[in-house]
Every structure is written in C-alpha cells, then in structure tokens.
Structure 1
Amino acid sequence: MSNTTFQIAALVIYFAGMIAIGLWAKTKNNNLDDYVLGGRSLSPTTAALSAGASDMSGWLLMGLPGALYISGLAEAWIAVGLTIGAWINWKVVAPRLRSYTEISRNSVTVPVFFHNRLRDNTKLLRIFSSLIILIFFTFYASSGMVAGGKFFASSFNLDFHVGMLLIAGITVLYTLFGGFLGASYTDMVQGFLMLGALILMPILALFYVGGPSGAYETISAVNPTALSLFAGTSFIGILSASAWGLGYFGQPHIIVRFMALRTPKDAIAGRRIGIGWMVLTVIGACSSGLIGIAYFAKHPDAALTDTKNAESVFLDMSQILLPSFVSGFILAAVLAAIMSTLSSQLVVCSSALAEDLYGVVTQKPLEAAKGLWLGRMGVLVVSIIAAVLAWNPNSSILELVSFAWAGFGAAFGPIVLLSLFWKKLTNWGAIAGLIAGTITVFVWGNNEALSSTFYEIAPGFIVNLVFAVTISYATYSPNPEIEEEFEAAALAAKN
C-alpha cells in the first residue's frame, strides 16, 4: 500500500468518527433551543475543549506557525494577547454570562440575550446583532474553507477547490444534523487531536535539526532576529498584536459555550482545563514555526508547499517526518482545527437566522420541528455564501480571521461586558455602540495606512465603549425589573 493510501485510511477513520458523533447528537435535538444551545448540558471539559478548538481553527496549526516561520518570534505577541484575553474571559465573563442568560428569560443566543437584558422593544438591537453575526461569520467561515483547500492541496496535491468543497461538505453534514451538541462533542475530540499533534511534531522535528542547540544555531544563522520577541516590531506593534485578546469578549461561537455550561460554578474547572490546553497548543504551534526554519534550512531538498504565506509548514513537516498512518492522524488534527471552528460558526449563524431574525419578523413562537429545519437551512445558506468568498486560493487565512475577529470583538465585546457589569446600559446605548464599533472596524480595516499602524479591533472596541456609555447616560431611566435581574445574576454567578 502506498503512503497516500495509509494517510487516506486515517482520514476516513477520522471523518467517520465526526459524522457518527453528529448523527448521535441528532437524537438529542428535539427543538431549536436544543439545536443552538444543547440544553445547557455541557461539562467543564467539553465546554473548555470545544471553546478552545472552535476558537483556534486552522490559524493555530497553519496561520500562526507560518507567521513565525516568516517573521520570527515577534509574531507570538498575538498568541500572548490571546492567552491573556482567554483567561480573563473564562474568569470574568463565563460565570456571569451563564447565570444572566438563564435568569434573563432563558436567553439561548447572544442577540436574544441583548434583547431580553435591555428590554429592547424596538427589536433593532436583536436585528443588528444578528446581521453582524451573519456578515462577520461568513468571512470567518470562509477562512476555514480556504484552510481546508490549502490542506488538501499541500497534503495530497488535490485541486484547491475540490479540497475546499470536501472539507465544507463533511463539516456541513455533521453540523446539519448534530447542531450545537454535535459541534461541541466533535470539537472536544478535535481538541485532543490538536493537542497531541502540537506536542508530538515539535519534539520529533527537534531530532532532525540537532536538538535545541542545533535548532538555535541554525535559526540564528538563517534569521538572526527570529528568536527575539522585540526585533522587527515596536511598542505600538506589540500593543497592536496583543490587542487580539480584546476579541474574546465578543466571539459568539466561544461565549455560547459559557451559556451552555451546566452551572456557573463549572466555569472554574472550565477555565483551568481550557487555559492549560491553550498554553500547550500555542507553545507547540510557535515551536513548529520556529523549528521549521531550522528544518528546511538543514534539508534544502525539502520544500514548502505554500511559499507565499508559509502556512503549510506544519503540514509539510508532518508529511516528511512521520510514518504514513501516523501522519494521517496528524493531518486529521489539522482538519480538526479547521472543522471545529467552521462547525461552531455555522451553528451560531443558523441560530441568528432561525431564532433571531425569523423570530423578529414573524413574532410567533416556532414549532419544534419547524425550528430544527429552519436552523438546518441556515447552516446551508451560510455555507454556500462562505464557499463563494473562499473560492480564491490565494486568500490568507490569517487576514480573513483577523478581520472577522476584530469585527466581533469591537461590535459585541463592550456590549457583553457592559450588559453583565453595568446596570445603566440602555438599548439605545447598546445599539449606538454596536453600530459605531462595526463601522470603525470596516473603515479602519480597509484603510491600509491605518490598519498597518494598529489592529482595527482596538479603535473599534474603544469607539463602541464611548458611544455605548455616553448614549446610555443620556437615555437611562431606572427599571426595577432589569435591576432585579441584574442583582440576581450577580448573586447566582457567585454561588
């Protein structure tokens, strides 16, 4: 049997496992609430690993190693900012959001929570929130499809578009039936795969470059500044990269895991598991990119598949260094990173269409069966649009992810924090902040002079915060019902 046959066999086992989990989860979905939130039944381990896997996507095993391969350790400031942001998110947001979303009329999506928390009778906040989710997640989902296309092009010399459609098709299949639970449990399995791959590969690659000292000497010879956290960047550059951490507070596919925990107390164990997983995987991804510099310098006969962005460095080393069947599971780990994020995004988009926008338009409660099929139709619609956006094989995964990450962080982050911790936030303040933050990201992110100076998430976040607070002060009037819920949520989060 050829090497490719063994690798394909490993991938088939992986694909079959993911589809089986999706079909099992289908039996647990009785209505739309189950489909989009899983009945608030996630254990800390499942919530933590699924949040981490859906967060990191192909960026962790492709985008980040590629960035360090090209530019050196200075690119790791993004990972530093993300780790700090994720810890704060689990520590501060998770327990309060879990308690508040249940107390506030059992809100099962982020737009519905905003609507219920602020008693927005205009329904504008729910509509704008849903539209923002659909717009930015379509970009985000397209990044996963681009990563899938590059994966198959790099690993099997398959046409980019065929690979892209294959990864999209399988992910859509198990998400279509399994919904939130299917996405969460497949994400948990995928999280373990990613962890194993990112521990194994850098350790193995070190043996081929002369160990730590050999790697250090070769990397320094190829790029003398590659191992410096500060070379080639500036104080502003470090702040800009670290600002990625602000994005966590507003990522719907991540914070929905907090909402799905069994109890607010589960956030403590979830934080420890999730951040431990994240630290290990980020170190593994950074090490893979740096050791890749040494490996390809010492083995000039080996070549990178992606010579422009170097986003294939992890894939290429696994193909070269590992036995075929083992490398097949390493390749499955890369697919896991891509598919875990894509499936989570599709579920959130589905809820935005079926639960949020449809509910506002019809103003009628959804029948259980009808809600499930509307959710599934939402998955299909977003998948098709994302596939069209992903059709260009030269798209950068990191660029697509960074724009969507900034959009969510700037649009939703301040509103989530203010909703949870400031009782004077009003619906008009939230609407103003939401719109102002989104516009700032689009304007800043599409202006080369501005975006090259500072990552658009920070100005968008600040503008949102200023508008939300200012307009809230101007429109605030006491509401005993809102204040009672606010105090009840704070108390429940502590108990």
Structure 2
Amino acid sequence: MDGYSIFLVMLAVYIAGLVAIGWYFNNRQKSVTDFWLAGRRIGPSALGFSAAASWLTAGGILAVVGYYMLQGMGSIWGFVAPNILALLFLAVLVKKIKNLPAITQPELLEQRYGSIVRWPIALIITVVMILFSVADITGLSLVLQVFYGLDPFYAAAIVAIAVSLYVTLGGLYAVIWTDTIQFAFLAIFAIGMAFATVGTVADGGLSTSAISASVLFGNVPGDWWNPFSIGLPMVLIFCLAIIPGWITEQDPWQKVWAARDGKSATLGMIIGSLMITVVFAACAVIAIALNSIYPEIAKMGFPAGMALAEPALLTFVSERFASAPVVIAFSAIGLAAASMSCTDTFSTSGASCISRDIYQRYIKPDATMKEMMLVNRVSVLFIILAATAGSFVIPNIIDAIHIATFIASSSYFFPLMGGLYWKRATKEGAFTGMVVGFTVQVALVVLDLIKTPPLAPSYLESIHPILMSHGVIVGMSLSAIAFFGVSLMTKPSSRVNLAPFFEEEAEELSRYEAREINEKDPEYSAFLKNVDEKVAGERTHLQLNLLASGNLSWHELIEKLKVGSPAWVTPTGLDSVYRLTHGDMLACVAVTRGTGERDIWLKAEPRLETVGRQKKELFTAYEELKKVLDKKGVNLDFN
C-alpha cells in the first residue's frame, strides 16, 4: 500500500470517529441550549483543550515555524503572544460574560442596543469567520500539496465533508469533544516533530553536520531570543491591532457560555492558554533545528524567505521520513486535525449568525429547530466554500488570520465592550461605530493588497509605521470616535436594554412577582414530573417540551402572550419570548420553537437558590401559554 492510500485509510477512520461523536451527541439534544451551547455543561478541561484547538490552525503552525526561523522570538507578537494573552484576558472577563442571556454575539448586541445592530454584526462576524477559515484551507492545501501533490480543491472537500457532518449532527457538543481529540493529535505531532528535527541535527541526518542539542541551542544568536527585538512601539501596535479582535471573537464567548459555571470557564481559558504555549514552544524548537538543517532559508531574510520557511516543516517531514509513509500520513492527519478543529469552530460560529441571527431573526421567525439545523448545515458548507475561494486570493496564511482579526478589531470591539461596561452607549453609536470601522478597514485592506508587490513590505507601512497591519490602528480609531461621539449625541438606551448588563438597572425591572401557587396542587405536581431538571455549576436548567394538537401561528401566539401579560417581552425578536419577572434574564422563562411545527420549548436557567421560585414561574408561563392556545382550540400535551 502506497503512502497516499495509507493516508486515505487513516483519514477515513479518523473522520468516521468524529462523525460517531457527532451522532452520539445528536441523540442527547433536547433544547436550543443543547445544540448551540452544549447544554451549558462543559467542564474546564474540555473547554481548555477546545479553546486551544480552536486557535491553533494547521496554517498557523506552519507560519509560526516560518516566522521563528526568520525573525526569532521577536515574531511572537504577530500571532503567538496575542493567542496566549487573549485567552488570559477572556479568563478575566468571564464574570461579565458568563451570565448574559444570549447564544450569539449578534443576539447579545440586540438585547443591548436593539434590532438595528443585529444584522450588520451578524454579517461582519460571518465575513470574519470565513477569513479565519481561509487560513485553515490554505494550510491544509499546503500540507496535501507537499506530501501528496494534491490540488487545493481536495483540502476544501475533506474539511467540508467532515466538518459539515459532525458539526451539524452534534452541535457545539461535537465541536468541543472533537476539538479535544484534534488537539491531542496536533500536540503529539508538534512535540514529536521537535524531537525529530533536533534528533536529525544530532545524528547528522539530511546531509547536515552532526552536533549535539546543547551545541545546537548554544549556537543560536542572542538577538534571536529577544522578544522585543522588533522594538517596543511595534510590540504595542501588534497588541492593539490583534488582541482586541481576538478578545471579542464570537467563538470563545460561545464556549464561555457553554461552561457549566464561571469557575469552569475561567479555568478553561487558562488551561487553553497553557496548552497553546506548549505547542508554540515546540514550534520554537522545531524552527531552531530547521535553521540548522536548511541554513539557506534564514539567509534569505524576511519577507523574501517566507515562501520557503512556511512549508519548511513539511519539506523536512517529506525528506526525513520518505521511507516511512505511515509517519507522513500521521503528520498529515495531525495537521488536518488542526485545520478541522479551527474550521469547525469558525464555521459553527459563522453558521449560527446566518441561521439564527439572519434567517430566524429576519426571514422566518417561526423556524423550527429542524429547519434551523438544515440552514446551519448549508451555512457551514457556504462558509467553507467561500473560504476556499478566498484561499486563492489571500495565499499568505498569517495574512488571512490578520485580515480577519483587524476587521473584527475595527468593526465591533468598541460597540461590544462598550455595551458591556458603558451605560451611555446607544444603538446609534454602536451601529455607526460598526459601519465606519468595517468600511474603513476593508478599504485599507483592499488598498494594501492591491498596492503591495509580491514578497515586498506592505504599501501602507511604507507610507508611515502607524499604517502597518493594514492600517488597523486608523480603522479602530475612527470606529471609536464614531461610537463614543454618536452615543453621546443620541438618546440613552432604555432600561429593558440595560437590565441584562447592569445589576442596578435590573433591580428596577423586578416588578412582576410570581403568583402564589399551592405546591400540593395535583396539577402542579403532575406538571413538575414532566420538567427536565439538570444541575450545571451554579445554575439549574429547567426544560419543558410541549406538543400542540394543531399547527401553530407563531407570530400570533407571541403577540397574544404579550397582550395577555405585560411580563412577556421580545428583546431579540419573535423567535424567543421572555417572561421578564426579574433582573436575572438568564433565569427568566423563555419560550422558543421546538424541533417540529407543533413543538414548543419552555426553559429557564435559575441559580440553585431560586429553583423553587422558577419552577412556579415555569408553571405560570405554561398556564398562560395554555390559556392563549385554548382560545384557538389548540391543546397542549407534555412531550
């Protein structure tokens, strides 16, 4: 059996395993929260491994090795350090993020500002996720091309088929648990290659002079180890350009929401940063050894040498293990795992914006979960196909990642973080800040790509250092001016919009008290037997699945509920209606569509100390829902 056949067999087994995980979790989904947020029951270890895997792309690993080879530790600020620091910053922000009542960032921003911001932020996040996926497709294309001479189309086909199958079956559950497996493959590959490259130098393999490991590392120039060799101003520019975009990236926020409690989310982000550090440390060792094996690459300098430095690790694997096709196949699987672990996260995040924040919010508010999953599956394929097309336009791996990050930083860093911490932020300010930042940044990126010759310093950077990184500092500055300026000139947000984000405002909404219910009432006792109750960290998840005797007019149902009781509100559109009885909106009862046309789901996520009260709230919501449907001649049964 030749090397390519071995790879195909190993790939088929690997993908089958991922799909089996997706199928397993498919049968455990009983609510919207189960599909989109893994039931909010993920522990710190799984969360940490998933967070690490989601930010370690195959292309990113190859590019990092290339940057280490040409620029040493001074290159860490372009990718390595922001990865680590962003996860640590997110660990600090967990307390503010964790209890916000949202599944996606566009939904969150609609709760904060109103519907005017949901569709633009959903489109921007989708674009950003496509650009991040470009790096994965490009990286895997490079792997398959060097190892097996395959066309880039096959890389996209492998990722599209595998990811669309297991993600759309198992939702975020599948993403997190397959990420854990994929990170293990990648870590084993990176650490294994560190030993292999150093061992090759020590043995004098590949026509190199045999030198010991101590001599190898002792011969590294002193300035190679200096992380500030690029100068403190450049370090600050890189941090300001990249870290804000990664802090506000949607996919780690969804994982914070998926954690079983705040402590798990915080610990998970810290574990993720440590796991990333281990892999990047292995990459540094690999780069030092490769500089000894291929000294001509380092002599070319940056950026001219990147064309050879980026695939240098793949070249080493092909030459060193030419007689061991199983090792090459395992290496290809390890890097394919890295591509899938990132693409599944990016495609899930982007697809959630398309299916939930655009399709269900604006096109079909009464869409069922079955319809949503179909749209989600198509959206995953769309994102991967768009990323494949983008990989031919942006062939540089790190540049694809940077462009995505810069657009995120300029577009929604200030509206998102300002909305969390600044009461005076308004919908007009958020909308203006997003549009100005996105438009300016995209224009600067396009101008830079058009005007910059191949393998030359960027056009904008040659004009002035402040314009480095595709002028992201300018884009962010204009976004901030628009956001803060317009917010101060417009009417403050309403208390309903502020309540989920500011405790003092929430207290003012605690005006609808639960009515008194006799706990010995047989009807209430029968009701409780049908409530699915699961404890996850500091909260209990209450879920009640109902089946209507006839088809539902969702729009009419929601409007009747709102007329019947002032406690019912729709802060994020008709797809979800909340019974707003107190400031903890996550604990309030919410009604959503179920899997089929006649399914209705009621849910609440109260803190452990308020479970008794919220069970009564759930019963009250059930009775009010039943009363509305009774008038239409529609009965409700427990499902």
1:388 maps to 389
How do 1:215-254 and structure 2 match up within 5 A?
Answer: 215-216=216-217, 220=221, 226-231=224-229, 233-243=230-240, 244-254=242-252
User: Is 1:486 matched with 2:492?
Assistant: no
1:469-489: per-residue Cα shift (whole Å, max 9, x none)?
A: 222222243633344432349
Q: Tell me by how many angstroms 1:110 deviates.
A: 0.7
Structure 2 CA distance for aligned equivalents of residues 296 and 262 of structure 1: 48
After superposition, what is the alpha-carbon deviation per residue over 1:274-304, rounded to whole angstroms, capped at 9, x for unaligned?
12112112222233223211122399xxxxx
User: What displacement does 1:319 show?
Assistant: 4.1
Q: Is the 1:249–1:414 contact (alpha carbons within 8 Å) kept by the matching residues of 2? A: no
Q: Which aligned pairs between 1:181-260 and structure 2 lie closer than 5 A?
A: 181-209=173-201, 210-216=211-217, 220=221, 226-231=224-229, 233-243=230-240, 244-260=242-258
Is the 2:47–2:269 Cα contact (8 Å) retained in structure 1? no
More helix by share: 1
Q: In structure 1, give the amino acid aligned to 2:106.
A: P
Question: Any conservation in 2 of the 1:30–1:369 contact (CA below 8 Å)?
Answer: no
Match of residue 266 from structure 1: 264
**Shift of the alpha carbon at 1:33?**
4.8
* Contact 1:96-1:264 within 8 A present in 2 as well: no
Query: Across the two proteins, how many residue pairs are aligned to each other?
Result: 476
2:108 matches 1:113: yes
Quote how far apart the aligned CAs of 1:6 are: 4.6
Within 5 Å, give how 1:100-139 maps onto structure 2.
100=100, 102=101, 107-118=102-113, 120=114, 123-139=115-131
Shift in Å, 1:218? 5.8
- Residue identity (%): 18
Counterpart amino acid of 1:278?
I
| Contact 1:35–1:181 (CA under 8 A) maintained in structure 2 | yes
- Matched residue of 2:216: which SS? helix
SS in 2 for 1:262: coil
How many Å separate the matches in 2 of 1:248 and 1:311? 23
After superposition, give the CA deviation of every residue in 1:438-461 in whole Å (9 maximum; x if it has no partner): 123223333433356322444333
CA change 1:216–1:471 in 2 (3 A) is same
Bigger mean CA deviation after superposition, 169-178 or 396-405: 169-178
Match of 1:373 in 2: 374
Q: 1:167 to 1:211 in 2, by over 3 A?
A: farther
Q: Does the CA-based 8 Å contact 2:425-2:493 persist in structure 1?
A: no
The CA distance in 2 between the partners of 1:307 and 1:239, in whole Å, is 24
> 2:279 and 2:35 mapped to 1: Cα distance?
29
Q: Deviations over 1:359-381 (max 9, x none)?
A: 33236232221222122122222
Map of 2:539 onto structure 1: none
CA distance in 2, matches of 1:447, 1:227: 34
The Cα shift of 1:219 comes to: 5.1
Q: Equivalent residue for 1:462?
A: 477
Aligned to 1:74: 74
Give me the whole-angstrom Cα distance separating, in 1, the residues matched to 2:9 and 2:272: 31
Name the CA distance, whole Å, in 2 between partners of 1:236 and 1:21: 47
- Is the contact made by 2:406 and 2:472 (CA closer than 8 Å) also made in structure 1? yes
User: Quick one: which amino acid aligns to residue 236 of structure 2?
Assistant: L
User: Structure 1 unaligned runs (5+)?
Assistant: 300-305
Residue 463 of structure 1, CA deviation: 2.9
CA contact (8 A) 1:411 1:433 kept: yes
Q: Partners in 1 of 2:121 and 2:376 — Cα distance?
A: 17
CA contact (8 A) 1:60 1:285 kept: no
Q: How many Å separate the matches in 2 of 1:140 and 1:31?
A: 29
Deviations 1:380-409 (A, max 9, x none): 2222222222346x8111111110121123
- Deviation track 1:77-129 (CA, whole Å, cap 9, x = no partner) reads 2222332222112222x2311112x2xxxx211100100122x1xx2200101
Alpha-carbon distance in 2 for matches of 1:360, 1:239: 39
Q: Do the aligned residues in 1 keep the contact of 2:54 with 2:341 (CA within 8 Å)?
A: yes
Change (3 A) 1:53 1:402: same
Q: Which amino acid aligns with 1:470?
A: G
After TM superposition, the structure 1 = structure 2 runs for residues 150-165 of structure 1, keeping only pairs within 5 Å, are: 150-165=142-157
Q: Does 1:171 align with 2:163?
A: yes
Matched, 1:54 2:54: yes
- Which structure has the greater CA radius of gyration? 2
Q: CA deviation at 1:199?
A: 2.4
Tell me, in whole angstroms, the C-alpha distance in 2 between the residues paired with 1:354 and 1:389.
Answer: 22
**Structure 2: how far apart are the matches of 1:414 and 1:406?**
13
Deviation digits for residues 161-203 of structure 1, max 9, x if unmatched? 3333333332233223333222221112112222222223213
TM-score (norm 2): 0.68
Q: Could you tell me whether the CA contact under 8 Å between 2:427 and 2:493 is conserved in 1?
A: no
> 3-state DSSP class of the match of 1:99?
coil
1:371 maps to a residue whose letter is M
Q: Which sits farther off after the overlay, 175-184 or 429-438?
A: 175-184
Counterpart in 2 of 1:360? 361
Code of the residue aligned with 2:315 in structure 1: it is D
What's the secondary structure of 1:486's corresponding residue? Answer: coil
Whether the 8 Å CA contact 1:54–1:341 is kept in 2: the answer is: yes
CA contact (8 A) 2:3 2:329 kept: no
Structural mapping, 1:294-333, within 5 Å: 294-297=292-295, 308-321=307-320, 324-333=325-334
Local SS of the residue matching 1:73: helix
Measured against aligned partners, the alpha-carbon deviations of 1:243-290 in whole angstroms (never above 9, x if no partner) come to 322222221122221121122222232133112112112222233223
Amino acid of the structure 1 residue aligned with 2:148: F
Is 1:440 the counterpart of 2:435? The answer is no
Over the aligned positions, Cα root-mean-square deviation in angstroms equals 3.1
Structure 1 position 132, deviation (Å): 0.6
Structure 2 residue runs without a partner (length 5+): 202-210, 298-304, 449-458, 507-582, 587-606, 609-639
Residue 45 of structure 1 aligns to a residue in which SS? helix
Q: Specify the alignment match of 1:346 in structure 2.
A: 347
TM-score computed with the length of structure 1 as normaliser: 0.86
Q: Is the 8 A contact 2:141 2:155 kept in 1?
A: yes
5 Å matches for 1:27-66?
27-30=27-30, 33-66=33-66
Contact 1:167-1:339 within 8 A present in 2 as well: yes
- Describe the shift of the 1:59–1:70 C-alpha distance in structure 2 as closer, same or farther (beyond 3 A): same
Does structure 2 conserve the Cα–Cα contact (< 8 Å) formed by 1:130 and 1:353? Answer: yes
Name 1:302's counterpart in structure 2: none
SS in 1 for 2:492: coil
Letter in 2 for 1:198: A
Higher relative contact order (CA 8 A, sep 6+): 1
Q: Matched residues in 2 for 1:6 and 1:359: separation?
A: 44
Contact 2:198-2:286 at 8 Å conserved across structures: no
Does the C-alpha gap of structure 1 residues 42 and 451 become closer, same or farther in structure 2, counting only changes over 3 Å? Answer: farther
